[in-house]
Amino acid sequence: MKNALPAAHPSPASVFFKTIALSRVDVTDTTYQISTPTPAEGLMASIREVGLLSPPLLRVAGSDKFIIISGFKRISACRDLGLDAIDARIAGEGVSDLDCCRMAIADNAGNRALNAVEQSAAVLKLSAFFGDDRTLSLEARKAGLDVNPELVKKLKKLTTLHAEMMAPIASGALPLTIALELGSLDRNPALAFLNLFETLKPTLNHQKEMLTLSREISAAGRIPIIQVIGGVTADIMMDESLDRPQKIQKIRNNLQRLRYPEMMRFEKQFQERLMRLNLPEGIRLLPPANFEGTRFTLSLTFQDISQFKACTDILNPLVHHPDFKKILDKDVEDNLFIR
């Protein structure tokens, strides 16, 4: 047949519709569960008004029982509504474990975007059948879950994370990359960061920066990381005069000062010297990036000859200004204390 779809796999004959008593569904068996718990009120209201439009997919388990392949939330809603029986799609005994797993993923992924915890659950279920990340990625894609091998690798690691992280990951409040970083920490520091991020809601880049700086301060000074982040944030978090962005900025600044003490001190001294030059708004003196190169940049903003002359009147005496010389020399003697 020219326009026929390829035969479904498993064959349609092995999946059939049936009305079954809800009491025969074993809701404790989560073999194929992918979805994370979400409030069911909306779904219950919908079923109450228009009925169960999409029958759950169940699998025969023994002579008198069914387990859920897909539709955990629907079954739960129907039970809470006090229904006795529902229409369901039943995968017969001939359907393999792998096919049930694929159907669970396809049914979930086909209806909505899965969150990271659900993607992780899907990948883990498939990993019982396929070894390497590349094959897992291909098989997941066949079931409608678009995950590349790199993401597969990350998703597999999610299961090793502290339990408290799952809800914020699922809700999207905790980005996957940050979650995995936190997962490499002990439980207490991981939860301290989680609490900090949930409270202040810094951007992803700021979260990464705080974590990296804290980790490096800890490694460099052989100080427990919880001591680093605790020491930096304690007073700031208690300070009611600061709003959320101010707290984030202050924490970042303090971490920078701990991580790069000499650089921060040098930068501060540069700014102080610059202030003492008393340059007007139209004159800007810029040091080389990171003070590494040798060329300073001076920019003048003016609109006529008299303004230009005013600028040069200010610039000429700079030659004799001690702070100007120290700036150009990147004077180090009185700034640094490394011994």
Partner 1 sequence: MKITCLYVDRDVLDFPAVSAICARLDMPFQIVSDPKEVYDPVTRSESPVDAGKTSLWLTRNKGKFVRPCPGTDYYTCCNYTILHIGTFCTMDCSYCILQSYFHPPVLQYFVNFEEMDKALDEVFASHQVKRIGTGEFTDSLIWETIYPYAATLISKFAKQSSAILELKTKTVNIDHLLGLTHHRKTILSWSLNTEKVIKENERKTSSLNARLAAAARCVAAGYPVAFHFDPMVIYPGCENDYRDVISRMFAAVSPEHIVWISMGTFRFMPALKPVIEKRFDASAIVYGEFIKGMDGKMRYFKPLRIRFYRAIIAHIRSIAPDVTVYFCMEDGEVWQQSFGFVPEEKGGLPAMLDNSAVRHCGLTD
Which parts of this chain interact with partner 1 (CB under 8 A)? Answer: 216-217, 219-220, 222, 260-263, 266, 290-294, 329-330, 332-333, 335-336, 338-339
Give me the least distance between CB of 292 and partner 1, in Å please. Answer: 5
Q: Which is nearer to partner 1, 231 or 282 (CB)?
A: 231
How far apart (Å, rounded) are the C-alpha atoms in residues 98 and 125? 9
Give me the least distance between CB of 332 and partner 1, in Å please. Answer: 4
Q: Which is nearer to partner 1, 119 or 214 (CB)?
A: 214
Q: Which is nearer to partner 1, 59 or 326 (CB)?
A: 326
Buried b (16+ CB within 10 A) or exposed e, 213-248: bbbbbbeeeeeebbebbbebbeebbeeeeeeeeebb
Give me the least distance between CB of 88 and partner 1, in Å please. Answer: 46
Q: Which is nearer to partner 1, 32 or 266 (CB)?
A: 266
Give me the least distance between CB of 293 and partner 1, in Å please. Answer: 6
How far apart (Å, rounded) are the C-alpha atoms in residues 169 and 167? 5
Cβ burial of 18 (10 Å; 0-12, 13-18, 19+) is: middle
Q: Which is nearer to partner 1, 12 or 293 (CB)?
A: 293
Give me the least distance between CB of 2 and partner 1, in Å please. Answer: 46
Q: Which is nearer to partner 1, 89 or 215 (CB)?
A: 215
Give me the least distance between CB of 67 and partner 1, in Å please. Answer: 38
Beta bridge partners of 61: 65
Q: Which is nearer to partner 1, 74 or 259 (CB)?
A: 259
Give me the least distance between CB of 31 and partner 1, in Å please. Answer: 32
In angstroms, the Cα distances linking 201 to 174, 210, 233, 241, 244 are: 9, 12, 14, 18, 8
How far apart (Å, rounded) are the C-alpha atoms in residues 258 and 298? 31
